A and B are shown apart, each in its own frame.
Chain A
Amino acid sequence: QSALTQPRSVSGSPGQSVTISCTGTSSDVGDSKYVSWYQQHPGKAPKLMIYDVSKRPSGVPDRFSGSKSGNTASLTISGLQAEDEADYYCCSYAVSYTYVVFGGGTKLTVL
């Protein structure tokens, strides 16, 4: 049950696009339909941004998109806005469906 690997930090200017990667193994990200992404502002609870690899919950802007290739999932945020500055966590339901694993988190800074 090792944590998924995310970059510690990424940054971008308003209007630009950034991509956050999330690398796991063939036992979790690589073989799971259930990869999700969460946004967390300081002192707040996490918020679901992407589920089932690439689906957006109602109310999440279409600037947020998810994808997966092999053992790596990615979250892309286009048209960066100041309010996107937050921590982002990926999450995968393991192929054995007996556990869930999170990434270590990525701090997004909007310059």
Chain B
Amino acid sequence: EVQLLESGGGWVQPGGSLRLSCAASGFTFSRYAMTWVRQPPGKGLEWVLDISPSGDTTYYTDSVKGRFTISRDNSKDTLLLQMNSLRAEDTAVYYCAKATWGQFENWGQGTLVTVSS
């Protein structure tokens, strides 16, 4: 059974940093692209970042370029999201998802990031 477990969410002040992790199990992690999707409270889903199976290619939505970095450790079946210069509008539940051609078959339970002073 595929399992994705996010961790690292919490409260941070504007301008601060946070690092999210997603532990994967139940599939060959190194064979799949992975994605972070976020959902602000009461709002819709927003794709944020993608990373290729090997980790050598990444894609970002414009609003996080230069602030967020996606990476992965295939030896530990772990997806990472480093978030810097956080803004109030980054407040959301962050989901990691297993991706195939931009389609997401499996999702984690999500971790809430709150950016507020």
Query: A36-B103, A51-B103, A100-B35 given as contacts; is B44 within 8 A of A105 (CB)?
Result: yes
CB contacts under 8 Å to A, within B80-117, are: 95, 100-110
Q: Smallest CB-CB separation from B63: which chain A residue?
A: A1
Interchain CB contact under 8 A, B44 and A34: no
Majority DSSP secondary structure for residues of B touching A: strand
Contact with B105, one of A33, A34, A40, A57 (Cβ below 8 angstroms): A57
Interchain CB contact under 8 A, A93 and B59: no
Contact with A99, one of B37, B59, B103, B109 (Cβ below 8 angstroms): B59
The interface size bin for chain B is 20 to 34
Q: Could you give, for residues 27-52 of chain A, a 1 whenever the CB lies within 8 Å of some chain B CB and a 0 otherwise? A: 00000011010101000011110011
Query: A45-B109, A48-B104 given as contacts; is B44 within 8 A of A103 (CB)?
Result: yes
- Residues of chain B with a CB closer than 8 A to A104's CB: 44
Interchain CB contact under 8 A, A51 and B105: yes
B27 within 8 Å of A by Cβ? no
- Residues of chain A with a CB closer than 8 A to B62's CB: 1
Interchain CB contact under 8 A, B103 and A3: no
Contact with B45, one of A48, A52, A105 (Cβ below 8 angstroms): A105
